[in-house]
Amino acid sequence: MKPPLPISVVHLCQVPQWRREAAALIHKEFWLTVPDASEDGMFKRLGQAAQADCVPLCLLALHEGELAGVVNLVDNDDEEHTDWHPWLAGMVVAERFRGRGVGSALVLGLLAQAWKLGIERVYFGTDGPGFYTRLGAVHHLQPRPGFWFMRFERPPAP
C-alpha cells in the first residue's frame, strides 16, 4: 500500500482556475461515451458551485500544484428518485493519485461540509460500494446487479 498523499482539500469557488481541469477529469471518467455530454457542459455545471456555504458545491484535492481529485455535492443526481437529496456526485481521483487516500479525504471533506450545512443525509450511486462502506456509508437500494444506491447519515450530535 502506498503512503497517504499530502493534499489540500479546497472549494472550487476559492480556486476557480482549476475549473477547466476538474471538468475534464469528471467528463473523462463518467461522461465520455454519453451522447451530447461535453467537457464544456461540465465546465458550465461546475460554475454553479459558486459558493462554499450552499449546494451545489465542489471540492478539489490539490497536491503540489496538480489536481489530484474532485467531488461534488449536488441537489439531485437521479431522475427517478427526485425526493432523495442532496447527492455526492462526480467523485474521481486522477489515476496517478489513486490508492493514496485522496478519495477518502474528498468524501470525508464533502460530508463535513454537508453536516456543517445542516444536511441530514447524502445519497449517491456506485458500482464500487466497498470504498464507501469503509467510510461509513450504508446500502440504500440495489436497483440492478452490480449497482447500489447508498447514503451517508449525519452522525448524532455528541
pTM: 0.94
Whole-angstrom distance, CA of residue 106 vs CA of residue 61: 7
* 47 or 1: which leads in pLDDT: 47
Whole-angstrom distance, CA of residue 62 vs CA of residue 115: 23
Residue % of the chain over a pLDDT of 90? 87
Q: Are 119 and 108 in contact (CB under 8 A)?
A: no
Q: Tell me the pLDDT tens digit for each residue of 42-101.
A: 999 999 999 999 999 999 999 999 999 999 999 988 788 889 999 999 999 999 999 999
Among candidate residues 87, 95, 101, 109, the one with its CA nearest the CA of residue 131: 101
pLDDT at residue 142 greater than cutoff 90: yes
Mean pLDDT of 27-42: 93
User: What is the reported pLDDT for 156?
Assistant: 86
User: What is the reported pLDDT for 81?
Assistant: 82
Q: What value does the mean pLDDT of the chain take?
A: 94
User: CA–CA distance from 76 to each of 26, 35, 48, 73, 90 (Å)?
Assistant: 17, 20, 14, 9, 12
Mean pLDDT of 21-43: 94
Cα 11–chain centre separation: 12
Whole-angstrom distance, CA of residue 146 vs CA of residue 128: 8
Output phi, psi for 8, to 5 deg: -115, 130
pLDDT at residue 128 greater than cutoff 70: yes
Domains of the chain: 8-124 (3.40.630.30)
Task: Please give the full DSSP string across 123-158, using - where no structure is assigned.
Answer: EEEES-HHHHHTTT-EEEEEEETTEEEEEEEPPPP-
User: What is the reported pLDDT for 1?
Assistant: 61
